[in-house]
Amino acid sequence: MLEPTASDRQIVDAVLGGDRDAFRLLVERESAMVIAACRRILGSPTDAQDAAQEAFVRAYQSLATFRGDGPFGAWVRRIAVRIAVARLAVDGGLSLDDDRATISTWSPVDGDPVGRVLDSEEREALAEAIARLPADQRQVVMLRFYGERSVEDIARLTDRPIGTVKSRLSRGIATLREQFGVRSAP
């Protein structure tokens, strides 16, 4: 039996070694953060719990691919965010309580603490800028860059023509560039 203080790697190794109950330690450690990340995207506590549960199932099924070069919690949150964004696309709209998407939950920056703080502030500013986009632009921007979906996938998921998706994505990116004072290359 593993101690609750065991490292992520120790627990993962135990699960891969056949100790199915060991995975429960990881779920207990990370479930609150995973559910919170999903809720910021989906809005609904019930939908967030469903997405989080699916994320843990997928994490368990693909545990052998966990490299261990970062915390398990960050890995499972990335899985959960992708699931939540995909569900958001399928639902056809955004129902965020806090329209500042979960940009702050994506992978942390390695390096010095000052760099991490600056990166965190930049992500927060970007989250706020994305939250100010019209819902149709916000949806395609989130799906493209945070859901890592192709334009074709977004068109299929949102039941919109590719041209409409491209137009909304282009307008959303242009608005974000304008808000951050970034000019397009000539």
Residue 136 has pLDDT above 80, yes or no: yes
Whether pLDDT at 105 is above 80: no
Threshold 0.85, pTM exceeds? no
- State the burial class of residue 34 (Cβ atoms within 10 Å of its Cβ: 0-12, 13-18, 19+): buried
**pLDDT of 25-80, one tens digit each?**
999 999 999 998 888 777 788 989 999 999 999 999 999 999 888 899 989 988 88
Spatial CA neighbour of 136 closest among 156, 114, 120, 160? 160
The per-residue pLDDT for 170 is 92
- For residues 28 and 88, the answer to whether their CB atoms sit within 8 Å is no
Angle between the 162-180 and 151-158 helix axes, to the nearest 10 degrees? 110
CA distance 136 to 62: 33
- Name the nearest CA neighbour of 119 among 111, 31, 56: 111
Fold of 1-98: Rna Polymerase Sigma Factor; Chain: A (1.10.1740)
Residue-wise pLDDT tens digits, 162-171: 999 999 999 9
Alpha helices per DSSP H over the chain = 8-16, 23-42, 45-61, 72-91, 113-131, 135-141, 151-158, 162-180
CA distance 167 to 176: 14
pLDDT (0 to 100) of residue 19? 92
- Domain boundary assignment for the chain: 1-98, 101-181
| pLDDT tens digits for range 72-91 | 998 998 888 878 877 776 65
CATH 3.40.50.12780 for domain 101-181, yes or no, is no
φ/ψ of residue 132, rounded to 5: -85, -10
Residues 6+ apart with CB under 8 A from 138: 94, 99, 101, 130, 131, 172
